[in-house]
Amino acid sequence: MGQRQGDGGGRGTASAWAALGGEPGLIERVGYRGPGGLLPARLAVGTLARGTVAVCALAAAELAAARRGGPVPAVRVDEGAVATAFVSERHLRIDGRPVSAFAPLSRFWRAADGWVRTHANYPHHRARLLRALGLPDGAGVPEVEAELAGRAAEEIEETVYAAGGLAVAARTPGQWARHPQGATVAARPLLTLGPLDAGGPPRVLPPLAGHPVRPAAGLRVLDLTRVIAGPVATRTLALLGADVLRIDAPQLPESQDAHSDTGFGKRSTALDLGAAAGRATFEELLARADVVVTGYRPGALDRFGLAPEELAARRPGLVVARLSAWGDDGPWGARRGFDSLVQVACGIAAVEAGPDGTPGALPAQALDHGTGYLLAAAVLRALTGQSRTGGSFLATLSLAGTAHWLIHDLSDGEGEDGLMNGPGRTPSGAAAPGDRGYDPADHLLETVGPLGRLRHARPPVSFDGAPDTWATPPGRVAADAPVWR
């Protein structure tokens, strides 16, 4: 299929670019190619996916033009590459081995009055879930199933949260709209991006030369994120040339499999910010950083002096990008959350339910991936803005905000993704990927590195002259020294 110019590939690009404060005319630089409908669902997942990737690529092209001079390079959005990248964790193979998926206790459960979903992929979350339910450490699916069947869904939600675990009751979009947190999210924009201070001298970025064009070359990014959304954002910044150093707490280890998917182009280290030596090292890194990306629940890092305003005070001219599950405020603002849980609470699981009413899920962890590309786009747009106005910038996004955008802004009518067709119905126009001439293998690469031979998704962010893969493969979690390159 030939290339489609302008926003004919989906209105998600226009609304996301507007949220980022981009010049509307630049959307005409975006072209789309390949078959649509590769992420079939009742909600407009394809519109979300291509739109978030498109604005990320456009923001990268815009920054490239600011550093190279000349017009903004043309952006190419390949539907197959986007669909493959949005399920990158499913395609990853390490010496032929697929990476681990959800743990046995991360799933839907019947409650006495509905459904709940739990998340227990991390050992400490599993332990807290069992403790909240009064079950022994060795309890498995049968014991949890029996315990939850006799309890009300919202009671489970609150009991598990109080114990530091993760569980949410399944709601419809209407029920979520009436929930205090749902109302809070609905009153906020998709994202915020603006100055943190009164300004300063414009950021001076050296001109770019050579090929491929890496518009973030020479920039240093501190990556304090976990799981998928934040790491997808920083993986994208690494693709575009940034020196990305991921920092994890030694007492809160990350999954190596998860990092193997999102660690391309990055280095990884461990720092205990609660210890004097760890804080001192962090401050040395911050003194030379250009960007800090955080993905912990709001307030969780404030005790370490990592609130955006404090970071910018110590490092003027910094770009701070902050991601959360439920948003910065509201009764759930400080709660932990993951894509799978946000889908359930916000009503996506109800919209995607099966014929028997069993809650469903999107064909990808699209809230994570989509928010990740939006987060990277916000950082890139902030850097372009700094080259004109100077000052420090703050970007804020949430998975719940992206979910609201998907349900209420992108999915209110019929379209190629089969929007809101009703329970149990096949999405309008949906077909098996093979029927559309799409083969994921066309969008996979093989890379050899410290972890072995990796088969992985090709980066979907592309513009004229852009890199087609990362400069380095992922390594071991926390295996690198806490220093800049």
Instruction: Report pLDDT digits (tens) over 181-205.
Output: 999 999 999 999 999 987 788 998 8
Name the nearest CA neighbour of 373 among 28, 40, 106, 16. Answer: 16
Average per-residue pLDDT for the chain = 92
Q: What is the pLDDT of residue 253?
A: 73
Q: Is the pLDDT of residue 413 over 60?
A: no
CA 293 vs CA 176, 256, 396: distances in Å: 28, 20, 10
Mean pLDDT of 423-452: 71
Mean pLDDT of 25-45: 96
pLDDT digits (tens, 9 = 90+) for 255-310: 899 999 999 999 999 999 999 999 999 999 999 999 999 999 988 999 999 999 99
Name the nearest CA neighbour of 408 among 417, 425, 420, 418. Answer: 420
Q: What is the DSSP string of 64-96?
A: HHHHH-SSPPPEEEEHHHHHHHTTHHHH-EETT
CA 41 vs CA 35, 85, 143, 354, 399: distances in Å: 15, 17, 33, 12, 18
Confidence of residue 58 (pLDDT cuts 50, 70, 90): very high
4: buried, middle or exposed (CB in 10 Å: 19+, 13-18, 0-12)? middle
Confidence of residue 100 (pLDDT cuts 50, 70, 90): confident
Confidence of residue 1 (pLDDT cuts 50, 70, 90): very low
| C-alpha to C-alpha distance for 481 and 126, rounded to whole angstroms | 31
Q: What is the pLDDT of residue 363?
A: 98
pLDDT digits (tens, 9 = 90+) for 336-372: 999 999 999 999 999 999 999 999 999 999 999 999 9
- Dihedral sign of CA atoms 399, 169, 354, 261 in order: positive
